[in-house]
């Protein structure tokens, strides 16, 4: 009998999933001497710490045994009611609580949708560049990735129509609001046009929206879901607006998709954290979420402005970058003579890290791009670190 080695015992799919560059580089960020623009981390100084402590105690006093017990897979019904009511209030969407599945962060929603829809070799259409967590998640199911170019007002809709016609993908994944990694936002016209095109194909749109509430202009564009609810799956999360450690996200979809995703979730983890759901709902019903989000907006807008002024003052003129109107990121493009990986090597010598852009591409990567996070670095530290990066760009012979 031939004894298989450990490597031969692993499944084929485990070799297909790329390692998360961000998770790896954040290990470096644990060093207190490192200034990190790498993670997509909310600023912990804005977490509603005292309020959440109060709400946790209240939940234990009111229904402690209930929250420590197993619960329904779909999620805590009053929390789903809150989410549904918020969509009605903000966008006039008639979403029923039964159309909402609570997930362990929106990342789990991506995993569940991969299980529901994808077989090996199926086509999945993505923005170029796209969220690397989605790339990692969908790679488990061994699809064929296609990409569509992303511009300042959204994807190239003519190219989108061509890719839809040529490939008829099962899924189109997008982040229309303050996209990760670029910080860009789709225009209303682009959202409507995407819905018009997708209507002609058996494709589901996965509309990921973790950043939509963090709008620096105060405007909130209607989601693609509002223009094509039958074919759009809308994802949301409390990670960026309350706290990521709660691991509470959700998906909104038609009842058949919710039913299938619920079955997949039962097989995965039975249900999301029951205590987190009850505590979060207690917080949402006793405090004004929009008042809290306004604090986040004010803080992140200020930090965005600091980063923009530093990039303008310290970086060479041939460096281009996005000017996001919300969210947590800006996206830089370097001259052809400089790769982001080489830049990172030099930056690490100055105890500064960021994420090279090549990690965000499904196909041929653009090695001259990189992502900077502005939400989790204080003003003085940010100014000093960006001045160092600008000096590296000015003085290094590439």
Quote the mean pLDDT of the chain.
Answer: 95
Helix pair 77-91, 274-286: axis angle to 10 deg: 50
CB 321 within 8 A of CB 311: yes
User: What pLDDT, in 10s, does the model give residues 84-103?
Assistant: 999 999 999 999 999 999 99
Alpha-carbon distances of 242 from 170, 212, 323, 374, rounded to whole Å: 33, 14, 24, 18
Sheet holding 369-373, edge to edge: 320-321, 329-333, 369-373, 355-356
- From its phi and psi, is residue 218 left (phi > 0), alpha (psi between -120 and 50) or beta? left
What is residue 199's predicted lDDT score, i.e. its pLDDT? 98
Judged against a pLDDT cut of 70, whether residue 117 lies above it is answered with yes
What is the reported pTM? 0.94
Judged against a pLDDT cut of 80, whether residue 339 lies above it is answered with yes
Judged against a pLDDT cut of 60, whether residue 276 lies above it is answered with yes
Percent of the chain with pLDDT over 90: 90
Percent of the chain with pLDDT over 70: 95
Q: Which of 261, 256, 255 is nearest to 98 (CA)?
A: 255
- Measured CA angle at 171 (ends 169, 175), to 5 deg: 130
What is residue 17's predicted lDDT score, i.e. its pLDDT? 74
Judged against a pLDDT cut of 90, whether residue 397 lies above it is answered with no
Judged against a pLDDT cut of 90, whether residue 26 lies above it is answered with no
Judged against a pLDDT cut of 90, whether residue 2 lies above it is answered with no
User: What pLDDT, in 10s, does the model give residues 139-180?
Assistant: 999 999 999 999 999 999 999 999 999 999 999 999 999 999
Judged against a pLDDT cut of 70, whether residue 19 lies above it is answered with no
What is residue 22's predicted lDDT score, i.e. its pLDDT? 64
Judged against a pLDDT cut of 60, whether residue 3 lies above it is answered with no
Q: Per-residue pLDDT averaged across 352-364, rounded?
A: 95
Domains of the chain: 6-48+291-395 (3.90.1150.10), 70-286 (3.40.640.10)
Residues 6+ apart with CB under 8 A from 206: 110, 113, 171, 172, 173, 174, 232, 233, 235
* CA 198/CA 225 separation, integer angstroms: 12
Q: Which of 229, 155, 216 is nearest to 186 (CA)?
A: 155
For residue 131 the two structure tokens come to 């969220």
């Amino acid at each position: 009998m031939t004894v298989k080695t450990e490597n031969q015992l692993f499944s084929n799919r485990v070799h297909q999933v790329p390692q998360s560059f961000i998770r790896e580089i954040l290990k470096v960020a644990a060093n207190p001497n490192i200034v990190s623009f790498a993670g997509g981390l909310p600023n912990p100084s804005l977490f509603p710490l005292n309020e959440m402590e109060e709400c946790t105690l209240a939940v234990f006093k009111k229904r402690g045994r209930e929250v420590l017990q197993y619960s329904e897979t779909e999620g805590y019904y009053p929390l789903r009611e809150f989410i549904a009511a918020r969509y009605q209030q903000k966008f006039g969407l008639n979403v029923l609580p039964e159309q909402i599945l609570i997930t362990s962060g929106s990342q789990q929603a991506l995993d569940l949708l991969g299980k529901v829809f994808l077989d090996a070799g199926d086509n999945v259409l993505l923005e170029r560049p796209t969220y690397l967590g989605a790339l990692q998640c969908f790679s488990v199911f061994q699809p064929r990735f296609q990409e569509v170019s992303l511009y300042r007002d959204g994807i190239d809709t003519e190219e989108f129509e061509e890719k839809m016609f040529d490939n008829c993908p099962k899924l189109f994944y997008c982040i229309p609001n303050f996209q990760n990694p670029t910080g860009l936002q789709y225009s209303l016209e682009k959202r409507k046009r995407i819905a018009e095109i997708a209507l002609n194909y058996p494709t589901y749109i996965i509309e990921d929206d973790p950043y939509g509430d963090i709008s620096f202009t105060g405007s909130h564009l209607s989601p693609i879901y509002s223009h094509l609810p039958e074919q759009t799956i809308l994802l949301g999360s409390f990670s960026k607006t309350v706290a990521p450690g709660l691991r509470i996200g959700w998906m909104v979809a038609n009842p058949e998709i919710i039913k299938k995703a619920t079955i997949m979730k039962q097989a995965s983890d039975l249900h999301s954290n029951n205590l987190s759901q009850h505590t979060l709902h207690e917080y949402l019903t006793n405090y004004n979420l929009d008042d809290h989000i306004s604090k986040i907006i004010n803080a992140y807008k200020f930090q965005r402005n600091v980063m923009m002024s530093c990039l303008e003052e310290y970086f060479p003129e041939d460096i281009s970058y996005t000017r996001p109107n919300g969210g947590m990121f800006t996206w830089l493009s370097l001259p052809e003579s400089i790769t982001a990986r080489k830049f990172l090597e030099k930056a690490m010598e100055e105890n500064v890290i960021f994420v090279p852009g090549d990690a965000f591409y499904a196909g041929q990567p653009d090695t001259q791009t990189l992502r900077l996070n502005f939400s989790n670095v204080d003003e003085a530290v940010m100014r000093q670190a960006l001045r160092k990066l600008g000096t590296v760009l000015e003085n290094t012979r590439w």
